[in-house]
Amino acid sequence: MSGVYNQLLLDGIPIINGLNYTYGISAIPGTLIDNIFISQGLASTIQGHESITGQINIELKEKSEEEKIFLNLYMNSFLSKQANIDYNFNLGNWKSIISLHSTQPGKKIDNNSDTFLDLPLTTKYSLYNKWVYGLQNNSGLYSKITLRYLNEKRLGGQINYTENKQGSNEVYGQIINFSQPELHIHSSYKFNKRESVILRSALTYHEQESFFGTTQYLANQLNYYLNFSYKLNWNTHEFHSGLNFKKLDLNETINLNDNFNRTFGGEYNKNENIAGVFIENTFNWNNKNLQLISGVRVDKHNDYGLFFTPRCLIKYNFSENTIMRASFGTGWKTINLFSENIKLFGTNKDIIISDNLEPEHGLNYGLNILHAIYLENIELQFIFDAYKTNFLNQIHPDYHTNLNNIYIHNLEGKSISNSLQGEFAIELYESLGIKLAYNYLDVFHIENGHKHRLPFNSKHHILSTLSYKPIEGNWHFDCNLHWFGKKKLINTSQNPEPFRRNNTSEPYSTFGAQFTKKLNNMDLYIGAENLFNFKQENPIISWEDPFGEYFNIANVWGPTKGREVYIGLRYRL
């Protein structure tokens, strides 16, 4: 589900975009996440116009009723360390949680002796505070106020690179340093069982200083979102209407220490204001066995004018055990070139950018079928998904027209994404759970009658998980196996022989496992990621000469750090 065409929500608010997108989900400490809700295909019009192929909503923790203090400590075999502590309390009619997180870097790893770090050194500090007033389903006022602050530094490159050598043309390194404060407000007032009003608002600021070799990338971003809606329940149906406003001010400066004749240095400013109105109704018939969600929104962009976004989602229960869902509609988004394509800084090539980049726009439709079988002590599930996106406009880096340049331009020809997935799940005696899924993803564009697959996308995936927890036991075991098929890579056929790579990657798999033991108020866990120790060989092209014209770290397609073993402790009071 990862990708720029999936809309990312934080507590139901679409605030992760632009500079926030690059590190958005990975910057959230795992212990803060309460739930993750995934919608394949199109989603509701209420949250906006940007969900073209899917939507991911991450709900962050609220005040716990079971524990006052939660502590999580973690360390892995690279000596990277994490610490999390939550404090839960009440203040009058308000419930609150305060959470602190820290990640400290591990040791320097260069197992393939190419003088480059196999994984970056990451230092992170995070503060999270959420206040909740009232109960969401009760009449009257309900409100959530969330404050977050994140400061993160990532350092990579050659093993003898240090922070005081940033921008050096003698030692290659990358350093990314950013800070990000956020404020989210979600308030509703329920007049009675039928009517309520809802306010969702968020303000974030992101400031970043970074070097990629000799290229300096400075950026700051102010992101504001406001959504006011009215909700009416009538008979068995539900009606939403409202308006929203989104503001994004993004300022980027690229300074080139140019020995490569590159032209893309300078300032890039984006001042975006989008005002929108929406209506959406959920119809229920036949004892809610048939549900139709139909909605439409109209948005006015300060540069690109009006956009009309219709969407329709249908759910039908053939029986208690068999459910079908279908969706159809459109979505659109403007491009944030460098934050969404950070790999552009991973080569010494020139980047040629068209001066009339239009918003990306797609038509998506799909089908989901779920069938469950319930037997004594056994539950079976069969799930089938099929989704197709036809892009009316799409912008992606073109590495192949000229191997010395990367071209950024509007879609020429056709661009299509086809996704099929089949999943089988079984649960035995409420103790053993097994899932097996196969995903087929064909993403390509057609230009001048020729089909070109987009790079770095596996056409075939297989994912399997196993979880075992004895009914009377105080331990549980989880593991997963993920197999990736071949990926198309950047064409290097015109490079001199030592700097050429295959046009496709090799298939590979990763295996992870974790064992958890519960002791009173404490959980001890030990696990491993990439247990079979698969690593991409020679991931960096021309690592011997990082300031030469053939240097390229953008062709990485698999793990570079190898096996990671970790141990941790969770404590509740």
Give the residue ranges of DSSP H helices in 255-402.
337-340
DSSP secondary structure, 214-250, as one string: TEEEEEEEEEEEEEEEEEEEETTEEEEEEEEEEEEEE
- What is the per-residue pLDDT across 201-254, written as a single tens digit (0 to 9) for each? 999 999 999 999 999 999 999 999 999 999 999 888 899 999 999 999 999 999
What pLDDT band is residue 451 in, cutting at 50, 70 and 90? confident
Write down the pLDDT at residue 475: 95
What pLDDT band is residue 343 in, cutting at 50, 70 and 90? confident
Least-confidence region, from 98-107, 298-307, 336-345: 336-345
Write down the pLDDT at residue 1: 57
| Single pTM value for the model | 0.90
Report whether 120 contacts 154 (CB < 8 A). yes
Report whether 120 contacts 561 (CB < 8 A). no
Which whole number is the average pLDDT over 307-319? Answer: 95
Q: b/e per residue, 412-444, with b = 16+ CB within 10 A? A: eeebbbebebebebebeeeeebebebebebbbb
* CA 271 – CA 303 distance, rounded (Å): 9
- The values of phi and psi at residue 428, to 5°, are -115, 125
What's the 3-state SS for 17-46?
CCHHHHHCCCCCCHHHEEEEEEEECCCCCC
- What is the per-residue pLDDT across 115-167, written as a single tens digit (0 to 9) for each? 999 999 999 999 999 999 998 888 899 999 999 999 999 999 999 999 889 88
Least-confidence region, from 23-37, 360-374, 406-420: 23-37
* CA 310 – CA 58 distance, rounded (Å): 25
User: Residue 191 region, left (φ>0) first, then alpha (ψ -120 to 50), else beta?
Assistant: alpha
Which whole number is the average pLDDT over 362-375? Answer: 95
What pLDDT band is residue 2 in, cutting at 50, 70 and 90? low
- What is the per-residue pLDDT across 242-268, written as a single tens digit (0 to 9) for each? 999 999 999 999 999 867 788 999 999
* CA 122 – CA 45 distance, rounded (Å): 37
Write down the pLDDT at residue 453: 86
Q: Which residues face 399 on adjacent strands?
A: none
Q: Which domains does the chain have, with CATH numbers?
A: 6-572 (2.40.170.20)
What pLDDT band is residue 26 in, cutting at 50, 70 and 90? confident
- What is the per-residue pLDDT across 407-429, written as a single tens digit (0 to 9) for each? 999 988 899 999 999 999 999 98
Give the residue ranges of DSSP H helices in 205-334.
none
* CA 242 – CA 527 distance, rounded (Å): 47
- Of the candidates 464, 470, 442, 465, the one whose C-alpha atom is nearest the C-alpha of residue 454 is 442
Positive or negative torsion for Cα 257, 258, 260, 262: positive
SS3 383: strand
Least-confidence region, from 73-77, 88-92, 264-268, 446-450: 446-450
- The values of phi and psi at residue 225, to 5°, are -140, 135
* CA 327 – CA 312 distance, rounded (Å): 6
- Quote the radius of gyration of the chain (alpha carbons, Å): 25
Report whether 152 contacts 23 (CB < 8 A). yes
Q: Which two tokens stand for residue 413?
A: 């020809």
User: Which has more pLDDT, 193 or 2?
Assistant: 193
Write down the pLDDT at residue 40: 85
Q: How long, in residues, is the chain?
A: 573
User: Residue 413 region, left (φ>0) first, then alpha (ψ -120 to 50), else beta?
Assistant: left
Mean pLDDT of the chain: 92
Write down the pLDDT at residue 399: 82
- Of the candidates 184, 228, 177, the one whose C-alpha atom is nearest the C-alpha of residue 204 is 184
